[in-house]
Every structure is written in C-alpha cells, then in structure tokens.
C-alpha cells in the first residue's frame, strides 16, 4: 500500500494512506542505514510504500522524489537534513523586524531551492510593525528579487485578508513554508486554515529571535485544498552537495551572463574581463546578491553553521 508522509519525528512517522486515514509507522532498519548520509531518511512530503504487520505499519521503501530541499545538519556525524520532499513551491517568510531576516540567509535559501528546481516566493511578513526604514528596505528588496524572477508579497500573517490569495495558489499543490524562527510560519498556516489551531511561539525580548515551537517539519492538509509543510525555524542555512563551481548557475541574474566572460573557467572573483563583475559595477546585478555569492565561494565547507551579517 502507498502512503504520504505528514510528519517525521526521527523514529516514528505520521502517514496518510490513500483512504485518507492517518496512521503511525516505523521504518525498517535497512532503510535507515542504506548509505543515506542524512539525519532523516524519510521526510514530510515523501510518498512511500508500506507494509502492515500484525499490529503496526512499516515503511519499506521511498518512492522516487521529484525534488527535495536540504540544509547542512549541525550534527557533525551526518551530512544533511532533508527539510521536505516533492515540493511544488516554497514560500520563504522574511521579516525586517522582530526578528530581522539576514539577506545572506535569503540568498542561501534561494540557491538551495534553485539547485533542486523548486520555485520560490518571498513573503514579507509583519508589515504592520514596519517603520519608514523597514518599508524602504522592503521596497528595495522587492525590486531586487522580483526582477530576477521571485514573486514578492507584503503580508501580515495575523490579518487573514492579507494572506487569502495564498489559498488559490496552494490549492491542490504541495508547498513548503520556511524561514527563521519567529517569522510567523505557524501563524500563517493558522490563518490559512484556522481549524488547525497550531501552537505559536513568542519572540525573545532579549535577542529578538523566535523560540522554536515546530521541532519537526509537518505537512497539513488545508480545508481549502492542498498541503502545506511547516518547517522548523532555521537560524542558519548551510548548503550541501553543491560544488562551488556551480553556484553561479543558481543565481538567475548570473546564469544569463555565463559564457560572456573572457575566460571560460572564470569564477567571477578576481579574474579580468568578467561579465558578472561588470554587471555588478553597472548596477545590473545587485551588490548584495554578489556579496552573497562571494560568501558562498569563500566559506569553509566544513563549517556546520553560518554567521552572516544582518540586513
């Protein structure tokens, strides 16, 4: 029988059967150790084959994934954590106040999504809290990202009317919502479907960071149609399984200029006659985006954490 994984807690999994019944299942030990260098071999959004024994359900195999998105695990014994699988679209929630989302974090997430061909929308949340400075930053960031193909929307997750348009976008799709801790992911899911009544957290007054209330990614079926995966709050986003020579391919504005540099193996760092550096100088490529590219190129791949500057 087939099932759709709604939640992974590391050992047990909530799985929706084709009959829509939700059951608890474990995985076979062989599946757990089959050469998977990840903290979680099964993720929310996975389609799986299952067995039913005398008393319980067992996941025996994972059906081929259309895509998935991962981050570097902070567990040094593993390589990565799969956040979600089989995603039609990702929604990255950005806040410019309480807490502040780092530009470098946005770009790292977008690179990961591009590498797995997952279209992404940016949702600027908590706009009701923004002063003139935050509003201006939002306008500037919206211009940067919308111009290179990422839709941007200002929202207030606590205002149902401002997020109603998402129901039509999500209908009959399987989407993921992500962002730093405290940006309002769970509040947004509750606004889209109040019947879920998920627990939300508070913002630390000391560091203006969110307190983790979602420990594991969980997929919810919305009454209006479709599924939404609520991921744990992410304070850092380490990229894995990506070669540095391919980072340029995951910046859409740079991808358009590949082949125009004098040297075919140009890394767009210090080489002369570089089309990408020229585009940055001329304002055709955002300076902040290029700085994110440089951070990726120069970073230590063995560092499980990222420490980037705030907006």
CA angle 185/189/94 to nearest 5° reads 30
Residue 212: band (very low, low, confident or very high) from pLDDT cuts 50, 70, 90? very low
CA distance 263 to 265: 5
**Cβ contact 183:95 at 8 Å:** yes
In the chain, residues under CATH classification 2.40.50.140 are 2-64
Cis ω for the linkage preceding 99 (within 30 of 0): yes
What is the residue-averaged pLDDT of the chain? 86
Q: What is the pLDDT of residue 80?
A: 76
State the angle between helix axes of 132-147 and 103-115 in degrees (0 to 180), rounded to the nearest 10.
20
Please tell me the CATH code under which domain 89-230 is placed: 3.40.50.300
Top-level CATH class of 2-64?
Answer: mainly beta
Q: Domain 244-298 classified CATH 3.40.225.10? A: no
* Residue 102 phi, psi dihedral angles, 5° rounding: -75, 140
pTM summary value: 0.88
- 231, 221, 233: which is closest to 192 by C-alpha? 221
pLDDT digits (tens, 9 = 90+) for 30-87: 665 555 577 788 999 999 999 988 778 999 999 999 998 887 765 555 567 788 999 9
Residue 7: band (very low, low, confident or very high) from pLDDT cuts 50, 70, 90? very high
pLDDT digits (tens, 9 = 90+) for 252-285: 999 999 899 999 999 999 999 999 999 999 999 9
């Amino acid at each position: 029988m087939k099932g759709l994984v709604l939640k992974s807690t590391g050992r047990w999994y909530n799985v929706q059967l084709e009959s829509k019944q939700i059951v608890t299942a474990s995985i076979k030990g062989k599946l757990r150790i089959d050469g998977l260098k990840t903290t979680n071999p099964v993720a929310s959004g996975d389609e799986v084959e299952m067995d039913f024994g005398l008393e319980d359900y067992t996941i025996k195999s994972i059906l081929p994934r259309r895509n998935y998105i991962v981050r570097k695990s902070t567990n040094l014994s593993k390589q990565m954590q799969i956040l979600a699988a089989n995603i039609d679209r990702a929604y990255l929630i950005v806040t410019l106040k309480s807490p502040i989302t780092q530009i470098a974090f946005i770009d790292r997430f977008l690179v990961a999504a591009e590498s797995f061909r997952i279209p992404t929308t940016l949702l600027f949340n908590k706009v009701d809290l923004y002063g003139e400075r935050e509003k201006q930053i939002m306008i500037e960031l919206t211009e940067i990202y919308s111009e290179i193909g990422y839709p941007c929307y200002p929202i207030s997750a606590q205002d149902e009317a401002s997020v109603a348009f998402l129901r039509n976008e999500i209908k009959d799709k399987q989407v993921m919502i992500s962002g730093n801790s405290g940006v309002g992911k769970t509040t947004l899911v509750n606004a889209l479907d109040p019947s879920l009544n998920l627990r939300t957290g508070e913002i630390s007054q000391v560091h203006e960071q969110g307190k983790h209330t979602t420990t594991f990614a969980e997929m919810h079926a919305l009454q209006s149609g479709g599924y939404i995966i609520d991921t744990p709050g992410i304070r850092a986003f380490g990229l894995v399984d990506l070669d540095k020579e391919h980072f340029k391919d995951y910046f859409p504005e740079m991808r358009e200029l590949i082949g125009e540099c004098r040297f075919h193996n140009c890394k767009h760092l210090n080489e002369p006659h570089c089309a990408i550096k020229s585009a940055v100088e001329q304002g055709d490529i955002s300076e902040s985006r290029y700085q994110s590219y440089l951070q990726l190129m120069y970073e230590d791949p063995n560092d499980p954490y990222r420490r980037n500057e705030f907006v």
